[in-house]
């Protein structure tokens, strides 16, 4: 398990990177995938929903399970439990989540305000683990009051195998742009692999991040929405190969497959609730997409949803035929 040499990694995204989407990204070239964040407290109390978040298939390996929390003992016990019973390839500590529900309990990016707690947590987790422990941080709590290099050093000293940097502050949420120069600073500070993250939406963004920051690998989050092909495209770009565009038909075929696999995994009601946004992402930019988007969000059954995808697919093949004639 290494994080060097331009690996292309799927970011952990709560509510998005469940098993089906991760498997699609893996198939489309993601070198490494990571679970949605999992609460150490939830694990501690044996919550079923928390256990379900950690299900993965062997096909997805190498896979990391990401834990969040703020109690060193609970996080260490959670890490030991996950290592033994879930058997991922590595465990990642979330030190970047900005959402109030998490930071109110001192987890996620709130750890960036407490270096000694961060250190205690890492030491406690590391002691329990024989698989690698990695860490994902934001660059600080307040914009321009960066603590990333300090926290990177602590992570390295505590034995972290790699560090992901999303160079925004907690207060920025997802607004503005990420400060890639912070990734460069972190890379200069530590010798463990540094994974750059934030606002990579195209293969050229990935090339640019590697060039500007010297980071060892890249992590893609929102850029994979409706676009799992971004992983193989970035891999091609790294190898200097040309990048083949993805046709509307391929996108719609994938949308349909994603819908069916999701429904098989989680049931029809869950698929109806969760898959609408994925379908909207797949069709983004296609002719008539905004009109279909409204229909899709109003759809009351999976059959209706898949019919809309089929209609769009027919439209796409008709316009392709017209272009070819
Ligand atoms: C919907 C959503 C959920 C996220 N959930 C997590 C999470 O569970 N753990 C985590 O470390 N980061 C989480 N993130 C942050 C992403 O992993 C990533 O750091 C961020 O989106 C920036 O990368 P991007 O510009 O490629 O999207 C989430 C982001 C989004 C948009």
Q: Name all contacts of 195-199 with Cβ < 8 Å and 24+ positions apart.
A: 195/3, 195/7, 195/9, 195/162, 195/163, 195/164, 195/165, 195/219, 196/164, 196/165, 197/11, 197/136, 197/164, 197/165, 197/166, 197/167, 197/221, 198/165, 198/166, 198/167, 198/168, 199/223
Cα angle: 97, vertex 186, 35; to 5 degrees: 35
314: CA distance to ligand 1 center in Å? 34
**Alpha carbons 165 and 187: distance in angstroms, whole number:** 10
Q: Answer yes or no: do 191 and 266 share one domain.
A: no
Q: Answer yes or no: do 98 and 190 share one domain.
A: yes
Alpha helix ranges (H) inside the chain: 19-27, 40-44, 48-53, 72-81, 100-103, 115-128, 148-157, 180-189, 203-213, 230-238, 248-266, 268-283, 289-298, 302-324
What backbone phi and psi angles, to 5 degrees, belong to 126? -60, -40
What pLDDT, on the 0 to 100 scale, is given for residue 45?
Answer: 86
Q: At what angle do helices 115-128 and 72-81 cross, to 10 degrees?
A: 30
Q: Answer yes or no: do 163 and 312 share one domain.
A: no
User: What residues are paired with 96 via a beta bridge?
Assistant: none
For atom 21 of ligand 1, which residue has the closest CA?
Answer: 221
Give the residue-averaged pLDDT of 122-151.
98
- Token representation of residue 325: 């004639």
Residues with CB under 6 A from ligand 1: 11-16, 36-37, 66, 94, 96-97, 136, 166, 197-200, 220-223
313: CA distance to ligand 1 center in Å? 31
Q: Candidates 180, 221, 222: which one to mutate for ligand 1, based on the most atoms within 8 Å of Cβ?
A: 221
293 domain residue, yes or no = yes
Query: Is the predicted pLDDT of residue 318 greater than 90, yes or no?
Result: no
Q: Answer yes or no: do 234 and 256 share one domain.
A: no
Give the residue-averaged pLDDT of 185-214.
98
- Let me know: does 158 contact 123? Beta carbons within 8 Å: yes
What pLDDT, on the 0 to 100 scale, is given for residue 322?
Answer: 53
Give the residue-averaged pLDDT of 7-13.
98
**Alpha carbons 236 and 291: distance in angstroms, whole number:** 34
CATH number where 213 lies: 3.20.20.70
37: CA distance to ligand 1 center in Å? 10
pLDDT tens per residue across span 206-257 = 999 999 999 999 999 999 999 999 999 999 999 999 998 999 999 999 999 9
324: CA distance to ligand 1 center in Å? 41
Q: Which structural domain, as residue segments, surrounds residue 218?
A: 8-238
38 domain residue, yes or no = yes
Q: Candidates 8, 12, 172, 274: which one to mutate for ligand 1, based on the most atoms within 8 Å of Cβ?
A: 12
- Let me know: does 64 contact 87? Beta carbons within 8 Å: no
315 domain residue, yes or no = yes
Q: What is the mean pLDDT of the chain?
A: 96
For atom 10 of ligand 1, which residue has the closest CA?
Answer: 12
- Number of residues that make up the chain: 325
CATH number where 302 lies: 1.10.1200
Q: Answer yes or no: do 45 and 185 share one domain.
A: yes
Query: Is the predicted pLDDT of residue 321 greater than 70, yes or no?
Result: no
Catalytic residues: 97
Q: Answer yes or no: do 193 and 287 share one domain.
A: no
- Token representation of residue 158: 């505590």
Q: Answer yes or no: do 233 and 130 share one domain.
A: yes
- Token representation of residue 74: 């609970």
2 domain residue, yes or no = no
Residue 47: pLDDT band (50, 70, 90) is confident
Task: Say if pTM beats, i.e. exceeds, 0.75.
Answer: yes
164: CA distance to ligand 1 center in Å? 11
- Token representation of residue 143: 């914009």
Query: Is the predicted pLDDT of residue 97 greater than 60, yes or no?
Result: yes
Q: Answer yes or no: do 97 and 216 share one domain.
A: yes
- Let me know: does 88 contact 82? Beta carbons within 8 Å: yes
For atom 26 of ligand 1, which residue has the closest CA?
Answer: 221
């Amino acid at each position: 398990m290494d994080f060097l040499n331009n690996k292309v990694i799927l970011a952990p995204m709560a509510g998005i990177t469940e098993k089906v989407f991760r498997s699609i990204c893996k198939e489309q070239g993601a070198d490494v995938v990571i679970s949605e964040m999992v609460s150490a407290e939830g694990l501690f109390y044996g919550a079923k929903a928390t256990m379900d978040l950690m299900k993965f298939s062997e096909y997805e390996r190498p896979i990391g399970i990401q834990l969040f929390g703020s109690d060193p003992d609970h996080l260490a016990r959670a890490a030991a439990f996950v290592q033994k019973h879930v058997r991922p390839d590595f465990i990642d500590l979330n030190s970047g989540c900005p959402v109030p529900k998490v930071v109110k309990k001192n987890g996620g990016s709130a750890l960036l305000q407490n270096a000694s707690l961060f250190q205690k947590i890492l030491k406690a987790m590391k002691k329990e683990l024989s698989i690698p422990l990695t860490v994902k941080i934001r660059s600080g709590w307040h914009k321009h009051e960066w603590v990333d290099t300090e926290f990177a050093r602590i992570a390295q000293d505590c034995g972290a195998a790699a560090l992901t940097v999303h160079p925004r502050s907690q207060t920025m949420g997802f607004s503005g742009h990420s400060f890639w120069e912070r990734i460069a600073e972190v890379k200069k500070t530590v010798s463990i692999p540094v994974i750059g993250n934030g606002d990579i939406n195209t293969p050229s963004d990935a090339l640019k991040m590697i060039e500007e920051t010297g980071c060892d690998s890249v992590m893609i989050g929102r850029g994979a929405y409706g676009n799992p092909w971004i992983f193989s495209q970035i891999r091609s770009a790294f190898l200097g190969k040309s990048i083949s565009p993805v046709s509307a038909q391929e996108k719609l075929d994938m949308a349909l497959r994603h819908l069916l696999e999701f429904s098989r995994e989680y049931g029809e009601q869950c698929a109806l609730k969760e898959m609408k946004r994925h379908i909207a992402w797949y069709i983004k930019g296609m002719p008539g997409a905004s009109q279909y988007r409204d229909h899709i969000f109003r759809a009351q059954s999976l059959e209706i949803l898949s019919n809309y995808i089929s209609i769009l697919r027919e439209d796409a093949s008709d316009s392709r035929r017209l272009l070819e004639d």
